Amino acid sequence: MPKPDNDLLQRFLFEQSDIRGEIVSLQDSYQAVLANHKHPASYLTTTVNTLLGEFLSAAALLSATLKFDGIITLQAKPKIPGPLELIMADCTRHNNLRAVARLHEHNPADERQCNFRELLEGGFLVITIDPAKGERYQSVIAIEHDSLSDCLNTYFQQSEQLPTRIWLAADGDRASGLLLQALPIQLQSLEQRSELWQHVSLLADTLKADEQLALGHDAQLHRLFHQEALQLFEPTALQFSCSCSRTRTANMLVSLGREEVDAILEEQTSIDISCEFCHYVYRFSPAQAAQLFINTPPTLH
């Protein structure tokens, strides 16, 4: 059996129609994220690791819908405090992926297996589009389904944008995703597009998670749509990359204000800030911290 694809995002079109698709397969980038988030083995860890793969796949697929330079972020938090405090992933227009899951240190993992809704009880999924130029846009989705894909599909169904559906899979080793989206009417009538949309959506519903994870892009698309004429585009490489930097960390310290930074330095010899995505540590000595506030306007309270 041919090997599945690794860290690739690929676009395809149904020829002579107004429907497009994206398919993604992740392994190395997914493993890089998991390597930065070592937690004691438990049902919770297994579930969270799976969710991290699904969030990464969803972020990659949704980034392909951006028509401008920017970042798309998916973030979920529970309303009721539980073992999972936060989970998020983002993808840039330059195909850089990262993700984080924050577990509650003082809330022991439940030894039963939880689904997406149970882990994020009463919470919300927030999709943020942050363009390099222009205003940030956010959509807030109540978590009312047992899976991330079902929550996203309900959001697509209720929004006014073009019909869109998404299928996600992950197992702690690999992650995969499939997106179908209707396009503005150009080559078909609305009725023709609607009929084809229903047809290809039903076919995609037959795809099993183990097939998504085991099969390469060509094999998946042939398995689903071998009776349809598809145009496949060259795949795009994805990679884990963190956007943290010393400059951004310094700006965060400046936002705290000189008073609070000095108070921290009274208790310790330096300020060490670790990025929760990649765990790189940025260290600021007292002299370096003081330098940040030279020619910096005072923080308003």
Highest-pLDDT range among 33-37, 197-201, 272-276: 197-201
Report which DSSP code applies to 115: -
pTM over 0.95, yes/no:
no
How far is residue 240's CA from residue 278's CA, in Å, rounded to a whole number? 10
Each residue's pLDDT tens digit, 282-294 = 788 888 888 888 8
* 267, two tokens: 């208790």
Q: CB neighbours (10 Å) of residue 234?
A: 7
* 98, two tokens: 């990262």
Is the Cβ–Cβ distance between 205 and 7 less than 8 Å?
A: no
Is the Cβ–Cβ distance between 174 and 53 less than 8 Å?
A: yes
Is the Cβ–Cβ distance between 145 and 132 less than 8 Å?
A: no
Please name the helix (run of DSSP H) or strand (run of DSSP E) that holds residue 141, with its range, or none: strand 137-142
What pLDDT score was predicted for residue 42? 67
Examine the pLDDT at 57 and tell me if it is beyond 90.
Answer: yes
Domain with CATH 3.55.30.10 in the chain: 8-240
Domain with CATH 3.90.1280.10 in the chain: 246-292
Each residue's pLDDT tens digit, 240-271 = 987 777 877 788 788 778 888 888 888 888 88
- Could you tell me the CATH superfamily of domain 246-292? HSP33 redox switch-like (3.90.1280.10)
Burial class (CB in 10 A: 0-12, 13-18, 19+), 126: middle
| Mean of the per-residue pLDDT values of the chain | 87
> What does the pLDDT average to over 153-179?
92
How far is residue 169's CA from residue 245's CA, in Å, rounded to a whole number? 32
> What does the pLDDT average to over 192-199?
96
- Cα→Cα distances 177→28, 109, 193, 238, Å: 15, 28, 23, 13
The H-assigned helical ranges of 164-205 are: 190-204
How far is residue 163's CA from residue 243's CA, in Å, rounded to a whole number? 32
Report which DSSP code applies to 188: S
Of residues 199 and 281, more confidence is placed in 199
* 136, two tokens: 């940030």
Each residue's pLDDT tens digit, 89-104 = 999 888 999 999 988 7
Report the top-level CATH class of 8-240.
Answer: alpha beta
